[in-house]
Structure 1
């Protein structure tokens, strides 16, 4: 019965959008014209907000509760160019948030860190999402055991070192818990790193990093404070237009706050784009810790490991 009721709501949501109320609380059927009004109605509760197809020049700040933001049809609910607090389309500081099937594009703010999602508190799950042509895709983190999971998402045309005081990146997270990134695609970076994580525990598996059309990009994966965990079954292509081409994966380039003992980098495929001739390190390490680099398929010119 509960499944049938939810199915009816899923079918009804596009009709609600046509009537001018595209945001529906799945549990109650209540509809809203503005995403932030829907979010504020949840208060400290738990809710799923169903989002009908459309292009929305809106943003929201989640101050509490556990909220799932779910597109009725993945890829058709688009948040375009509007940010809250000079930060992001979604500023999240509730107990937890899940973002499912949404598109974020054209996010820019004065400090160069305009993002689709800014996570400031609470666990975060992102799946089936797209982040396109913005200064940053996902930014934030909190100094606690926060868990962040990103799955089956696309990051395209992100990052900048020109508009930001420091560089902006496709994903830039700093938390004391863990970050898991799976089954996602990174492409056409416009500066900075594709993934930059200041987290002690990382798992980055089954992703695609295509830098062949990148512009002034740096590393594919930057773990600037060190990290342990797993980087496996990813494919990497380094393009020609690089600001820093010296490494694909770089560990502890800025500090050694987290041990990299036990970090495993295995079963990846890393190559240079056609016509690119240089000799970057696949893994460059400044931590001096025990890192396992094994069974990776490296194209011509790519060196397995470099201790800096």
Structure 2
């Protein structure tokens, strides 16, 4: 699986043309930039107007065949009404609907769907620079949901979001995943839903510190999926109060959570996995491990409620 530490160099490219189908006041530009009293017909024009400043871009309800590249500043991409804004099928740079390499980004209340590109990594969001916060957003029926990272102390927070119909291992040599992030900082995923995966892992991370709490992972309708959580190079932190259901149609059914399968670059001593619920969908006879580890570091796996056939721990 390819790693996605990306260059900090800024690459100036034009965004794809917008073809918004928009509900609301006729004749009003759908992308409004705070503080400037400016409205724009194309998302890229709104983003470029911010330069290296700080702004909120409020997006009117509608379905947009549009994308943008953030080259600087701190930008919040906010739906005027959460859930009413859909970015459908258009990517910039052959990467994602939003390619983010500013000083920071927030995404609030947006839906991304049908993102596909030639290299198999079509995503709603590609993060390349700056901290990222995503909330109340949906990532649907695409090769990837959120992808990327920065080899610094980047902080990524994902809250109250849905990831459905994502991932692939059959279109390209390298798999894609619902979330695939790598940095030298942290990733926090809370109160989110993962379901109906179509390949790869639901959450794949190459980071030193994780917080994954209060989420649901429903693999009962998954197809050719792998682990629910893959901490590919180790890492510490907390995985707690999540609900996991493993389905029958797995490419790799042997564990729900895997630690350090590919490398041991981050210490895992102190990683705590507690107060989770893990069960198998009806009719299965397999016996996967809830947690499997390829490191000898001490991982605290305790007080989890495991269904019939689910083993607590496996050392590999």
Which band: TM-score by shorter chain? over 0.9
CA distances 1:238-294 after superposition (whole Å, capped 9, x unpaired) = 000000000000000000000001000000000000112210000000011010001
CA distances 1:101-151 after superposition (whole Å, capped 9, x unpaired) = 000000000000000000000000000000000000000001000000000
CA distances 1:65-84 after superposition (whole Å, capped 9, x unpaired) = 00000001111100000000
Question: Aligned to 1:102, which of 88, 103, 110?
Answer: 110
2:167 alignment partner in structure 1: 159
The Cα of 1:165 is off from its aligned counterpart by 2.2
Distance 1:211 1:27 in 2: 44
Question: Aligned to 1:34, which of 27, 39, 42?
Answer: 42
Distance 1:173 1:61 in 2: 19
TM (norm. structure 2) is 0.92
Question: Aligned to 1:273, which of 271, 278, 281?
Answer: 281
CA contact (8 A) 1:173 1:198 kept: yes
Question: Does 1:303 pair with 2:290?
Answer: no
The Cα of 1:63 is off from its aligned counterpart by 0.3
Q: Which has the higher helix share?
A: 1
**In the TM superposition, what are the counterparts of 1:250-269 in structure 2 within 5 Å?**
250-269=258-277
Question: Does 1:71 pair with 2:79?
Answer: yes
CA contact (8 A) 1:113 1:164 kept: no
- Quote the RMSD (CA, aligned, Å): 1.0
Question: Aligned to 1:84, which of 92, 97, 100?
Answer: 92
The Cα of 1:27 is off from its aligned counterpart by 2.1
CA distances 1:37-94 after superposition (whole Å, capped 9, x unpaired) = 0000000000000001000000000000000000011111000000000000000000
CA contact (8 A) 2:23 2:62 kept: no
CA contact (8 A) 1:14 1:22 kept: no
Distance 1:32 1:14 in 2: 15
Distance 1:53 1:302 in 2: 44
Unaligned segments of structure 1, at least 5 residues? 1-12
Runs of 4+ in 1 over 3 A off after TM superposition: 13-16
CA contact (8 A) 1:111 1:165 kept: no
**In the TM superposition, what are the counterparts of 1:4-43 in structure 2 within 5 Å?**
15=24, 18-43=26-51
TM (norm. structure 1) is 0.94
Structure 2 counterpart SS, 1:215:
coil
TM-aligned CA distance change 1:14 to 1:54, over 3 Å: closer
**In the TM superposition, what are the counterparts of 1:73-152 in structure 2 within 5 Å?**
73-152=81-160
Higher relative contact order, structure no. (Cα contacts within 8 Å, ≥ 6 residues apart): 2
Unaligned segments of structure 2, at least 5 residues? 1-21
Distance 1:165 1:116 in 2: 21
**In the TM superposition, what are the counterparts of 1:193-272 in structure 2 within 5 Å?**
193-272=201-280
Distance 1:165 1:41 in 2: 39
Distance 2:37 2:177 in 1: 38
Question: Does 1:50 pair with 2:83?
Answer: no
